């Protein structure tokens, strides 16, 4: 089978397509014929060797994908050959024609959801679900600012927040992104490049502030976010690429909090919640992953460059 392999950490050019043996599922494992693989920002940090998790080399990147069960190992009960699934982590990597996964790493993909959309489920929607329900403990009567709503996690967060009744504000940095954020469910949109947009957000709340901020770029926004919070407000720090100074008084005045976040630290019961919620939402149509660009598997290096550029518009997906 064809797979993307990384033999040394470095720039996007270290992603190369190779022929490797197709793995066989052992007991408790399944082999997925991958029809699409999702590209996430963390894939690029891991490839560069700067991420908290450093896989042993060589490795095939990717946790998110969707496809059809090709074969199952002994004792597997959850799925059978021919079933459509999305992956939430794999054993051998999602950027490939086939991926070996543990039985518990694959989940039913509703027939109405395309494989390309299925490749945009796990990290984006898992993050959004975990951030809203477990970290922020969001309630329907609250207002959430999705700060960076045009990308994978942002669109997912808007879908989930809308489906449970929150008032949703979303930001983007390009006209195309702003249009997408409006289309995907934000009640109000704001341009995070425009000077003074934070005052517009505060004005839109009648000066009260927002209850929750889901923050995609904390090193740029955290200090200003704290000033946008209502009493008992929470900033959930999802994305961060550097350092920033904050004034703790902004938190004290509002009895507010800023919470760090990592999807990798979820407990088994939180993970069970997340998949139950996502599977139901995909099935009932409230969750509709937005695919911005589909690229052939061989263009993984291009995908890694483009995902870090401004102007997000949904997910970038690789097609093996």
Q: Does 25 bind ligand NAP (CB under 6 A)?
A: no
C-alpha span between 177 and 112 (Å, rounded): 25
**Residue closest to ligand NAP when measured from CB atoms:** 151
Nearest approach, Cβ of 132 to ligand NAP (angstroms)? 13
Count of residues in contact with ligand NAP, rule CB under 6 A:
33
Strands 84-88 and 106-108: antiparallel
**What value, to the nearest 5°, has the Cα angle with vertex 228 and ends 222 and 232?**
95
For the bound state, the minimum distance from the C-beta of residue 137 to ligand NAP, rounded and expressed in Å, comes to 17
In the region spanning residues 189 to 208, those forming contacts with ligand NAP, defined by CB under 6 A, are 192
Shortest Cβ distance from residue 82 to ligand NAP (Å)? 31
User: Does 282 sit near ligand NAP (CB under 6 A)?
Assistant: no
The site map against ligand NAP for 56-75 (x = CB under 6 A) is --------------------
Candidates 10-18, 94-102, 141-149, 297-305; binding stretch for ligand NAP (CB under 6 A): 141-149
Rule CB under 6 A: choose which of 113, 217, 256, 317 binds ligand NAP: 217
Among 38, 118, 152, 185, binds ligand NAP (CB under 6 A): 152
Binding mask 33-52 for ligand NAP (x = CB under 6 A): -------xxx----------
Helices 152-163/122-129 angle, 10° precision: 50
Q: Does 90 bind ligand NAP (CB under 6 A)?
A: no
CB of 206: closest distance to ligand NAP in angstroms? 23
Nearer to ligand NAP, 69 or 312 (CB): 312
> Residue 100, interface with ligand NAP (CB under 6 A)?
no
Q: Which of 16, 22, 163, 174 binds ligand NAP (CB under 6 A)?
A: 174
DSSP letter string, the chain = -EEEEBSS--SGGG-EEEE-PPP---TTEEEEEEEEEEE-HHHHHHHHT-SS--PPSSB---SEEEEEEEEE-TT--S--TT-EEEEES-SS-SSBSEEEEEGGGEEE--TTS-HHHHTTSHHHHHHHHIIIIIIS---TT-EEEEES-SSHHHHHHHHHHHHTT-EEEEEESSHHHHHHHHHTT-SEEEETTSTTHHHHHHHHTTTS-EEEEEES-HHHHHHHHHHTEEEEEEEEE----S-----HHHHHHHT-EEEE--GGG--HHHHHHHHHHHHHHHHHTS--PPEEEEEEGGGHHHHHHHHTSS---SEEEEE-
Q: Among 177, 233, 281, 320, indicate the residue that binds ligand NAP (CB under 6 A).
A: 177
Stretch that binds ligand NAP, among 30-38, 56-64, 255-263, 282-290 (CB under 6 A): 255-263
Residue 150 contacts ligand NAP per CB under 6 A: yes
Binding region for ligand NAP (CB under 6 A): 40-42, 123-124, 127, 147-154, 171-174, 177, 192, 216-217, 220-221, 238-239, 261-263, 307, 310-312
């Amino acid at each position: 089978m064809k797979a993307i392999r990384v033999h040394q950490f470095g720039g996007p050019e270290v992603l190369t397509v190779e022929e490797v043996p197709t793995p066989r599922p052992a007991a408790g494992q399944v082999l997925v014929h991958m029809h699409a693989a999702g590209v996430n920002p963390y894939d690029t940090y891991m490839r560069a060797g700067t991420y908290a998790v450093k896989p042993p080399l060589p490795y095939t990147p990717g946790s998110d994908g969707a496809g059809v069960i090709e074969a199952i190992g002994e004792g597997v009960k959850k799925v059978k050959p021919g079933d459509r699934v999305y992956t939430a982590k794999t054993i051998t990597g999602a950027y490939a024609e086939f991926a070996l996964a543990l039985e518990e790493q694959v989940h039913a993909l509703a027939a109405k959801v395309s494989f390309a959309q299925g490749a945009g489920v796990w990290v984006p929607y898992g993050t959004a679900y975990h951030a809203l329900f477990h970290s922020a403990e969001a309630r329907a009567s609250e207002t959430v600012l999705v700060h960076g709503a045009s990308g994978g996690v942002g669109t997912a967060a808007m879908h989930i927040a809308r489906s449970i009744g929150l008032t949703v504000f979303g930001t983007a940095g390009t006209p195309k992104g702003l249009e997408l954020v409006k289309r995907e469910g934000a009640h109000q949109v704001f341009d995070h490049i425009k000077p003074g947009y934070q005052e517009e957000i505060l004005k839109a709340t009648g000066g009260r502030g927002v209850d929750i901020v889901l923050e995609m770029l904390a090193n740029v926004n955290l200090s200003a976010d704290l000033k946008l919070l209502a009493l008992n407000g929470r900033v959930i720090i999802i994305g961060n690429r550097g350092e920033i100074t904050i004034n703790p008084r902004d938190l004290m005045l509002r009895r507010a909090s800023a919470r760090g976040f990592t999807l990798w630290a979820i407990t088994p019961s939180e993970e069970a919640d997340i998949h139950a919620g996502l599977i139901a939402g995909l099935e009932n149509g409230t969750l509709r992953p937005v695919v911005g660009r589909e690229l052939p598997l061989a263009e993984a290096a291009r995908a890694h460059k483009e995902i870090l550029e401004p102007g997000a518009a949904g997910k970038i997906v690789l097609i093996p």
